[in-house]
Amino acid sequence: GAGVSQSPSNKVTEKGKDVELRCDPISGHTALYWYRQSLGQGLEFLIYFQGNSAPDKSGLPSDRFSAERTGGSVSTLTIQRTQQEDSAVYLCASSMGGIADTQYFGPGTRLTVL
């Protein structure tokens, strides 16, 4: 079936505004991850969802960042009061949920905060 999709592909916003980024995982995948990739940097883990378990939020950089996953499928990452340092590519990945499973990544959302 279709791969992981993310929307929007690009988002330009003004400092102080809130933004919502969406991720549609592969159907049937129980695990969902959010990462942030800044220019020339590796992927920075943000948050992980697995089934109905409490999400692992240990990577969220501040309380301005939050994420939810509705119905075990679609996820939304929200950044409140955006700052220029939030500019990055936000990547979503999904997997079957096993400890050694493969993560399938979406194309990412490029966020630019002016």
Partner 1 sequence: SQKIEQNSEALNIQEGKTATLTCNYTNYSPAYLQWYRQDPGRGPVFLLLIRENEKEKRKERLKVTFDTTLKQSLFHITASQPADSATYLCALRNTGGFKTIFGAGTRLFVKA
Q: Contact positions toward partner 1, by CB under 8 A?
A: 4, 31, 33, 35, 40-45, 48, 50, 56, 58-59, 91, 93, 99-100, 102-108
C-beta closer to partner 1: residue 48 or 65 = 48
Shortest Å, Cβ 83 to partner 1: 22
Nearer to partner 1, 35 or 65 (CB): 35
Separation between Cα atoms, residue 62 and residue 100, nearest integer Å: 29
Beta carbon nearer to partner 1, 14 or 40: 40
Cα angle at 44 between 37 and 13, to 5 degrees?
Answer: 45
Q: How far is the CB of 62 from partner 1 (least distance, A)?
A: 18
DSSP 24-75: E--TT--EEEEEEE-TT--EEEEEEEETTSPPB-TT--STTEEEEESTTS-E
